[in-house]
Amino acid sequence: MTGPATAAPHDPGLAPLLLTGFEPFAGDGHNPSWPAVQEAARRLRDRGVDAVAVRLPCTFAGSTEVLERALAEHRPGIVISCGLAGGRTRVAVERVAVNLQDARIPDNAGAQPAGRAVDDAGPAAYFSTLPVKRIVAALREAEIPAELSLSAGSFVCNHLFYALMARAETSSVRTAGFIHVPWDESAPRRPGRVGAHADDGDRPEPWPTVPGTQLAEALVIAALEAARPTSDLDEPDGSLY
């Protein structure tokens, strides 16, 4: 297949490409989605792509407000939003946003909705309009661990993804979707014991990580694939469970 290195350059006369990342949450001091998005936007601009990076607060209400402002200000044609999925081992290209808010932890403003809709009047779900299979194939070709994902969860990322897809129907946005990234090398140690033996002590267990430079490159590849005017791959790549 044609790799991203030969992708047609994004026409700078076209609407810009918007990348969003999130601030840290859950008491962590770092969220790899934001440096990855910033670095990806820099690399895309170096290649002549008009790319903008915007940082979103990790709150149900604030994330969509800042997204709305960014959409109004930049009028992007392509939007790729990105968030952290700590514990995942691969870059996860999300396929579906569900109309559900069910938060296991409070967001950064203390909100913790349970079993609520993102939009009472909205459809049960939206599909990503990114070429998700082409993106996963291009990432694997670049030797970046990647997978298609059928669930972006029910926390702030899924909420933002759902709101983005809803807004994409009535705005300049032509192609949009969401990508979850694993922890990068700045992952905190997670509490808990490794192994079953009491004499193991409280040795912190490491999170699975992917280097931040690979996360940034993954977003560059996703953006270039999204900018190519070809349809998605017609190949099976679903999951069995």
Give the total residue count for the chain: 241
Q: Is the dihedral of CA 26, 29, 32, 33 positive or negative?
A: positive
Interacting stretch for ligand PCA, rule CB under 6 A, among 39-47, 83-91, 113-121, 222-230? 83-91
Tokens representing residue 31 in the block: 């969220």
Q: Is the dihedral of CA 172, 57, 90, 211 positive or negative?
A: positive
Position among 155, 162, 178, 183 found at the interface with ligand PCA (CB under 6 A): 155
Min CB(140)–ligand PCA separation in Å:
22
Q: Establish if 25 lies at the interface with ligand PCA (CB under 6 A).
A: yes
Catalytic residue among 39, 82, 157, 159: 157
Q: Establish if 128 lies at the interface with ligand PCA (CB under 6 A).
A: no
Q: Establish if 60 lies at the interface with ligand PCA (CB under 6 A).
A: no
Annotation marks residue 180 as catalytic? yes
Position among 10, 17, 33, 138 found at the interface with ligand PCA (CB under 6 A): 33
Tokens representing residue 182 in the block: 């694993």
237 close to 135: Cβ distance less than 8 angstroms: no
- Measured CA to CA, the distance from residue 130 to residue 137 in angstroms comes to 13
Annotation marks residue 157 as catalytic? yes
SS3 51: strand
Q: Establish if 31 lies at the interface with ligand PCA (CB under 6 A).
A: yes
Q: What is the DSSP letter of 104?
A: S
Q: Which residues bind ligand PCA (CB under 6 A)?
A: 22, 25, 31, 33, 58, 83-85, 153, 155-157
